[in-house]
Structure 1
Amino acid sequence: MTRTDKAAAEPDVVGRRERKKAATRQALADAALRLFLERGFDQVKVAEIAEAADTALATLFVHFPGGKEALILEDGAEREAALTRAVRERPQGWSVLEALHRFLEGRGPFALDRGPEHRQKTRLVIATPALRAYARSLWTGCEEALARVIAEACGRDEDEVSLRILARYVLELPDLAGARPDPRAALDLAFAHLERGWPDV
């Protein structure tokens, strides 16, 4: 094989490898959700999930180093990137708070019409203390990045205490409002209060 042929083949090799990794991750996540729904989160061991997905236990931890909780919930990096993108790429004329409100409406317990699997997963997270705590930690772990992007959007200092407080309040909403009987109504109420407290954001 010539150097040119080898270079042309490399993207296909990389693409195949990435597809295989994605398929393994999906198989593990699907197996975990099925077992958790059948038997309960606390009754399922990670080794059983690996076996159900026909993978090695070591492979499970390569893909999900966060353990059982990470099998159900997306990682913090994805969440942080989506949050900051919602602020930076908001439509013209939208305030930062409006952009964050609309963003959260499409996530977790606030999302409507995303199918039965999404609803099952959401109920599982809310009903399982370990999963709910893990989900909250993923959101609050985005505090620094969210405060920074809010400050950037408003032309203010990212260390301003009021912006840190606002970022923390926003990031607590999935846990606080998401467990209410009507999560979307609770989210709307929370943002109505935030907009009164931070009218210029």
Structure 2
Amino acid sequence: MGLRERKKRQTRRAIAEAALRLFAERGYEETTIADIAGAADVSPRTFFSYFPSKEDVVFAEIDERLTEVREGIDRRPADETPLESMRRIVLEMIEAIAAEHGEYGAIQVRLVLERPSLQARALKRMNDTEQYVVERLTELCPGIDEIDAVVIAGALVGGMKAVITHCRAHGYAPEATRRAVDRALAIVEHGLGSVPALTHRATE
């Protein structure tokens, strides 16, 4: 990543951090975009160059992690099974999530649970991610049954969403979150291991 991209990511994160902090301190409705921009030391115009709306800033971190998931799938090593790829990618994503916004995780979850407009945005992100996983599984596992692909994507994305939401809502520390995710992955993998296409190595 070049200097320009690093600075853009830093600015994006600064805006998101300021927004979550203000939402926690003042309340979501009471916080304006001008307030967020001022707290992040940027102009309202700069805010809109990174986020279309106040609702979208709530998902800044999630969107960044979803991008990393897509990039991780694209970088699958040749000797890795699809199931091993999924585990690696999910663990990398959770490691990043667990390390960021720790003190604001609960407010993030509460905002989504309380506001239909945020729930709709969250659902769209979930659906888009599941569809992407389905498409990539179809590429990684030629001939995989379409129902298998849909179920696998739903189990992975839905399972991780459920455990992260629980951990954040209850204020789990990063290490406790990692343990919970590892346990959830073990449960999901137990079922997914019955799908032959997921355990086939590309080099075989």
TM over 0.5: yes
TM-score, with length taken from structure 1: 0.68
Structure 1 segments of 4 or more deviating over 6 A?
Answer: none
- 1:150-189 matched pairs, under 5 angstroms: 150-156=137-143, 160-180=146-166, 183-184=180-181, 185-189=183-187
For structure 2, list consecutive stretches of 5 or more residues without a partner in the other structure: 168-176, 199-204
Partner of 2:33: 46
Please state if 1:105 is matched with 2:91: yes
SS in 2 for 1:178: helix
Please state if 1:200 is matched with 2:197: yes
Total equivalences in the alignment: 181
Partner of 2:57: 70
For structure 1, list consecutive stretches of 5 or more residues without a partner in the other structure: 1-13
Deviation at 1:42, TM superposition (A): 4.5
TM-score, with length taken from structure 2: 0.67
Provide the alpha-carbon RMSD of the alignment.
3.4
Deviation at 1:65, TM superposition (A): 1.1
Distance of aligned partners of 1:101 and 1:125 in 2 relative to their CA distance in 1, 3 Å threshold: farther
Distance of aligned partners of 1:42 and 1:194 in 2 relative to their CA distance in 1, 3 Å threshold: farther
The whole-number CA distance in structure 1 between the counterparts of 2:13 and 2:124 is 23
CA contact (8 A) 1:83 1:146 kept: no
Output one character per residue of 1:121-167: Cα deviation in whole Å (capped at 9) or x when no partner: 4333333325676445323212332212111111236x823212322
SS in 1 for 2:126: helix
Please state if 1:37 is matched with 2:24: yes
Q: Name the larger-Rg structure.
A: 1
Look up the equivalent residue of 1:153 and give its one-letter code: L
Partner of 1:27: 14
Look up the equivalent residue of 1:190 and give its one-letter code: V
Output one character per residue of 1:66-100: Cα deviation in whole Å (capped at 9) or x when no partner: 43343552464x55543343334334443212221
Distance of aligned partners of 1:56 and 1:139 in 2 relative to their CA distance in 1, 3 Å threshold: same
Does 1 or 2 have the higher relative contact order (CA < 8 Å, sep 6+)? 2
CA contact (8 A) 2:17 2:101 kept: no
The whole-number CA distance in structure 1 between the counterparts of 2:39 and 2:136 is 41
Distance of aligned partners of 1:79 and 1:27 in 2 relative to their CA distance in 1, 3 Å threshold: closer
Structure 1 residue corresponding to 2:105, chosen from 110, 115, 122: 122
